């Protein structure tokens, strides 16, 4: 499912995604510094490995899973899923 499909179904998701639009590694720092920047800007961010981050959106109703490419200064959206679907993905080791 594409992020636009999920966002198109729910105005709450669309609003939350627009508010998290500034997620991204800041240039000029190593990966450790960028991770600290993300954590300071988004205190609910969790990290799954060195590049993957999970953000609670819409009051923890949905999870936004992204790959942070600190070296490129880019963020790639991997999943926007409900909390229940996220739990299933974790149980299947699909993240």
Closest by CA to 26, choosing from 36, 18, 12, 13, is: 36
Residue 64 has pLDDT above 70, yes or no: yes
Token digits of residue 70: 């600190």
Rounded Cα distance, 79 and 95, in Å: 9
Structure confidence by residue, pLDDT tens digits, 75-92: 899 999 998 999 999 999
Domain tally, the chain: 1
pLDDT digits (tens, 9 = 90+) for 24-50: 545 444 545 678 888 888 888 999 988
**Domain limits for position 68:** 3-91
């Amino acid at each position: 499912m594409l992020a636009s499909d999920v966002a198109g179904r729910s105005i709450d998701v669309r609003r939350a995604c627009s508010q998290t639009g500034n997620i991204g590694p800041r240039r000029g720092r190593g990966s450790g510094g960028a991770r600290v920047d993300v954590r300071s800007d988004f205190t609910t961010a969790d990290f799954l490995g060195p590049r993957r981050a999970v953000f609670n959106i819409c009051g923890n109703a949905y999870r936004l899973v992204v790959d942070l490419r600190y070296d490129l200064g880019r963020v790639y959206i991997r999943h926007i899923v409900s909390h229940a679907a996220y739990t299933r993905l974790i149980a299947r080791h699909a993240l």
